[in-house]
Amino acid sequence: MQRVAGSSERDLKGVLADYAPDAVFFTRHGTLHGLDAIKPLFQELIVEFAKPGATFSMKQQFIAGDYACILWTAQTPDNVYELGTDTFVVRDGKIVAQSFVGKTVPR
């Protein structure tokens, strides 16, 4: 994944634009409620995946109406994501709920 210098803030705005204001995000650390709570998670991920050598590989996608699930792997200079899975609920074009589970190993 390559980023243009100065694009991280635009990327963050673009990512957050996909979410409903009251979206819920389930993580192994707990539940995040709303964009203000979700924003720091994506800020960290954008910084991590903007580093040289970061890769992301989509393995599978499943979509059924308002529901979606993706399976993926990735590597960054900081971590190896041996397996990641995200599930989504989308209503009126916005993500209203997401969960993430994965096996991440620090490098």
Q: What CATH number does residue 52 fall under?
A: 3.10.450.50
- Report the pLDDT value the prediction gives residue 10, as an integer from 0 to 100: 59
**Amino acid making up residue 27:** T
What DSSP state is assigned to residue 77?
S
In a domain, 2, yes or no: no
Domain that holds residue 40: 8-106
In a domain, 14, yes or no: yes
* pTM, rounded to two decimals: 0.86
- Mean pLDDT score, 8-15: 80
For 2-35, b where at least 16 C-beta lie within 10 A, e where not — what string? Answer: ebeeeeeeebbeebbeebbeebbbeeeeeebeeb
pLDDT level of residue 79 (50, 70, 90 thresholds): very high
In a domain, 3, yes or no: no
pLDDT digits (tens, 9 = 90+) for 49-77: 999 999 999 999 999 999 999 999 999 99
Count the domains in the chain.
1
Strands 94-106 and 19-27, by their bridges, are parallel
Dihedral sign from CA coordinates of 101, 105, 106, 107: negative
- Mean pLDDT score, 8-19: 85
Q: In this model, does residue 2 exceed pLDDT 60?
A: no
In a domain, 32, yes or no: yes
